[in-house]
Chains A and B, each alone.
Chain A
Amino acid sequence: MTVDLGKVKTYGDTLNDGAMQVSFTLPVPAGDEAREAARQIALKMGLESPAVTEMADLGAGFTFFVLYGKCTHSVDFASIKIPKQQQKIMNFKEVNSLIKSELGRKVVVVAACTGSDAHTVGIDAIINMKGYRGEYGLERYPEIEAYNLGSQVPNAELLARAVELGADAILVSQVVTQKNIHLENLTELVELAEAEGLRDRVLLICGGPRISHELAIELGYDAGFGPGTLPNHVASFIAVELVRRNRP
C-alpha cells in the first residue's frame, strides 16, 4: 500500500476509497423528499454513492441526517506548507533559566479575555498559579511577572495597562466565536496597538479554542495557541522570542 502524497483521499478501509461520513440538518420536514434532498446535497459536495443511514425528525420542520459517501476530491499533501512556531518547547525550569541567563530581568506578561468575552477558562489555565494538566501557570514562574486582568476587558484598557506595567507580552484569550466576534476583537487590538506605536515593543499573542498559529499570524499577531496548549508552550515562545529580539 503506497499513499500517493500528491493525491490524498479520505480513507475508510481501503486506500483511495474516499469514504466519509457527514451529519447535517435541513430545514424541511422529514420524508422521502427530505432524504432525496440530503442525497443531492452530498452529491454536490463531491460525495459519490451517498447513503442516508439515519433520518430523524427534529420537529418544527427540521430533519437531521447521517450520511455516508465516497469523496471524489483529493488534495496535494506534498505541497502543503503551514507556518509553525520553530522554537522547541521548554519546561518550567528551562524557561526560567533562559530568561535569567539571557535577559537578566523579569519578563512582564499581561493577559485578558477581551471585549464582551466572559470565558476565562483558557486564560486561567495559562496564567493562574495552578496551571493546567500538571503544568504550572505563568504566575508560578519566578522569572515572569504575570497579570491576569480577567474577563470583559476592553482592548484600549488592556493596552493602557500593558503600557503602565511595562509589558513584554500581551496574551489575549477569545472563547466566544459566534458571528466571528473574536476576529473583530483581535483585529481591533492589533490596530489600536499600531495606532499607539506599541506594536513593535510588545509580543502580541492570542489563544482560544478556534485559534491557530496560522490564523494569528494572518491577523497580525506574533503567535497563536489553540486547544491543548499548556502554560509552558506559551512561556517557551515568549522567552525564546524575547531573547532572539534582544540579540544585537
Chain B
Amino acid sequence: MANKLDLDRTKIDLSRKMAGKIADRLHAWIGDYTTTTTERAAARLLGIDGIDAAGVPLANVMVEKLQQAGLLERGLVPWLSRAVVAGGETPREIAQALADGKLQVQDVPDCPEEKWRATADGLAEKAAAQISAVRAERESRIAKAAPPSKPMLYVIVATGNVYEDAVQAKAAALQGADIVAVIRHTGQSLLDYVPYGPTSEGFGGTYATQENFRIVRAALDEAGEETGRYIRLVNYASGLCMPEISAMGAMERLDMMLNDAMYGILFRDINMRRTFVDQHFSRMINAFAGIIINTGEDNYLTTTDAFDKGYTVLASQFINEQLALRSGLKEEQIGLGHAFEINPAMEDGLLMEIAQAQLCRELFPKSPLKYMPPTKHVTGNIFKTYLINGMYNLVAVMTGQEIQLLGMLTEAIHTPFISDRYLSIDNAGYIFNNARHLGDELIYAPGGKVQTRAAYLLNEACNMLQEIEKIGLETAMERGMFADIKRTREGGKGGSGVVKKDSGYYNPFPGLFGAHALAAEGRLS
C-alpha cells in the first residue's frame, strides 16, 4: 500500500504499541473468568442443541443447574465429560435427561482426571473437526466460484420472518449482492439465551437461531449456484450470547459476524467484564471457523459528530485489532468498521471522508475494511439520499474499501423494500465499475486538505491511545471517551453471569483452537 497520505510511521507504530498494551492489560484478567454464555457455547459446540418442555435451551438448563450446584467455577466440560464416562450417553442425551429431571447434577460420580480429560478432549476434537469440515466446504465453494470484485456489495434483509428473509436474501443475491446480513430482532442482544427453531415474528429483524441460519444459508447457496458465485452470509455475534452465536455460525457456515469488543458495553449497556470475557471466546471460535469479523466503530459516529470525533474511530480500530489478534484472528479476518457520516452540508466534507477512508486503508492494509453508509444526516428525501450514497460509493472505490454496506435511499423511512435494495446495488455497481481504478490515478497534494486531515486524525488517535494506555480501557469507558457514552465498571446487564474460574477449571476449546499459536504469527504488539 502506497503511503499516499505521507503518514508519520513513528505515530503508527506508537499507536499500535499502545493498543497492544491496552489489550494486554485486559488479558491480564480475562483468563481468570468464564461466563454463562461461554460455557453454553462449549455445550453447543459439543452438540447440545434443542430446548426443554418450557422452551428453555438445553444449554441454558445445564449451565443453570451447574451454577446452582456451585460447579460452574470448574466449567461445564468437566462435569459433562464425567457424565459421559459414567453413562456412555452423548452430551445431547445427558442434557435432555437433566432437563427431564431423569438425571441430577450430583448423580454423576467422580472419576480420575486423566479419564474425563481424555473423554473431553476426544469430544472437543470431534467438534473441532466438524467445524473444520464446514470451513473446508466454504473454501471449496469459494474456490469454485467467480471471485467477487471489491468492494463487495453487502445488503441487509430484515423482514422479521425467516422464510420471507430467505426470499429477499436470494433476490438480493440474484441482483448482485455479494454479502447478505439478516438483521436481528431488535431486542435479541439483551436476551441471555438464543431462541430456538425457525421464527416468523420479529420486529426490526429476525431472531438469530441456528435453524434460521440454516434456512438463509440454503437460500444463498441456491442463489450462488445459479449465478456461479459464493454469497456470504452475516449475522451478529453480539449482545449477551456472543460466543454461542459464533458457535452456531461456525456450524452453519456463516461467513461474517458483527463481533466488536466494546459495542455491547457502549450501546447495549452490557457489563464490561462480561463483554471482554465473551468477546475473547467468541472471537476464538470465529478465528478457528474462518469467519471474518466486522467491528462496530461506525456506531460512534451516530452518537457523536463524525468530524469532531473521527479520531475515536481510529483509536478503537487499533484496540479492536489488538484484541482480535489475541483471540487468534488473522488480520485478513478483521473487518474494521468505519462510516461515511460527516454532515453533507459541510464544505469539503467529501475531502474529510476521503481522508478518513484512505487513512483506515493505509493503517490497516490487510484488513477487509467494513465501510458503513450515511444514516445520521439522511432524511426522507430519497433522491438526495440516493445521491449521497453515490458519493459514499465513490469514496469507497477510490480508497480500496472491501466490505461495502450499501446505503438505502429509504434509510430513515422503513426497513428496505426489495426495490430499495435493487437500486442500492445498481448505484454501487455503476460507480464501482465506472471509477474502478480511480484510486490508482490519484495522489494527494502534499500538505493539502486530505493529508492535513489524515495527519491530524492519526495524531489525535495516538494521543488518545497513550492516555487510555495510562488509565486502562475500563476507566476510559467510565469517562465516556468512546461515543460520548459513560459506562460504569460494575454496572450493565449480564454481570451476574461472570464466574471466577476455580483452579480445576477446564475448557478444551481454547487450546484446541490454538489461539495463542495463531496470534503469535500476527501483528501483536
Contact = CB atoms under 8 A, between A and B. Distances in A.
A116 interface: yes
Contacts of A25: 417-419
A50 B484 CA distance: 52
B168 to A, nearest CB: 9
Interface stretch (B49-57, B170-178, B499-507): B170-178
Interface in A11-39: 23-25
B186 interface: yes
B160 interface: yes
B102 interface: no
A209 interface: yes
Interface in A139-185: 150, 152, 176-179, 181
Interface in B125-182: 158, 160, 167, 170-171, 174-175
A64 B158 CA distance: 19
A203 B432 CA distance: 51
Interface string A122-145: 001000101000000000000000
A176 B203 contact: yes
Nearest to A130: B484
A119 B423 CA distance: 25
Contacts of A60: 167, 170-171, 174
Given A128-B484, A209-B412, A116 B417 contact: no
Nearest to A65: B419
B3 interface: no
Contact of A58 (B186, B189, B412, B422): B422
- DSSP class of B's interface residues: helix, strand, loop or mixed? loop
B171 A59 contact: yes
A58 B484 contact: no
Interface string A88-122: 00000000000000000000000000001111110
Contacts of B426: 56
Nearest to B187: A116
Contacts of B380: 209, 227
Given A209-B413, A227-B380, A118 B422 contact: no
A119 B376 CA distance: 12
B203 A152 contact: no
Contact of B186 (A116, A130, A228): A116
A178 B204 CA distance: 6
Contacts of B187: 116, 118, 152
A187 B55 CA distance: 30
A24 B419 contact: yes
Contacts of A130: 304, 484
A77 B171 CA distance: 42
Contact of B190 (A58, A128, A152, A228): A152
Given A118-B268, A130-B484, A176 B418 contact: no
Contact of B415 (A24, A117, A124, A178): A178
Contacts of A119: 186
A170 to B, nearest CB: 20
Given A116-B185, A128-B484, A209-B413, A58 B171 contact: yes
Interface residues of B, number: 33
Nearest to B377: A133
A130 B309 CA distance: 13
B379 interface: yes
A179 B174 CA distance: 27
Given A178-B160, A209-B412, A58 B268 contact: no
B302 A121 contact: yes
Contacts of B204: 116-118, 176, 178
A58 B269 contact: no
Contact of A150 (B158, B269, B302): B269
Contacts of A116: 185-187, 203-204
B303 interface: yes
B414 interface: yes
A192 to B, nearest CB: 19
Contacts of B175: 58-59
A62 B418 contact: yes
Given A25-B417, A25-B418, A64-B419, A179 B203 contact: yes
A116 B412 CA distance: 18
A25 B484 CA distance: 41
A117 B484 contact: no
A116 B188 CA distance: 9
B267 to A, nearest CB: 8
A181 B202 CA distance: 10
Nearest to A124: B303
A56 to B, nearest CB: 7
B303 A181 contact: no
Interface in B425-470: 426
A64 B422 contact: yes
A150 B203 CA distance: 19
A23 B269 contact: no
Contacts of B417: 25
B225 to A, nearest CB: 14
Nearest to A128: B484
A39 B129 CA distance: 57
Nearest to A120: B303
Among A24, A25, A62, A179: residue with most chain B CB under 10 A: A62
A118 B203 CA distance: 11
B263 to A, nearest CB: 12
Among A23, A152, A178, A228: residue with most chain B CB under 10 A: A178
Contacts of A177: 414
A195 B457 CA distance: 54
Nearest to B426: A56
Contacts of A117: 186, 204
Interface string A34-63: 000000000000000000000010111010
Given A117-B186, A118-B187, A58 B418 contact: yes
Contacts of B160: 178-179
A58 B170 CA distance: 10
A227 B203 contact: no
4 A-B pairs with the lowest CB-CB distances in the bound complex, closest first: A59-B174, A116-B187, A60-B171, A64-B419
26 contacts: A25-B418, A56-B422, A56-B426, A58-B171, A58-B418, A58-B419, A58-B422, A59-B170, A59-B171, A59-B175, A60-B174, A62-B171, A64-B423, A116-B203, A118-B187, A118-B268, A119-B186, A120-B303, A128-B303, A128-B484, A130-B484, A152-B187, A179-B203, A181-B203, A227-B379, A228-B379
Given A119-B186, A179-B203, 19 more contacts: A24-B419, A25-B417, A25-B418, A56-B422, A58-B174, A59-B170, A62-B418, A64-B418, A64-B422, A117-B186, A118-B189, A118-B204, A118-B268, A177-B414, A178-B158, A178-B415, A179-B160, A209-B412, A209-B413
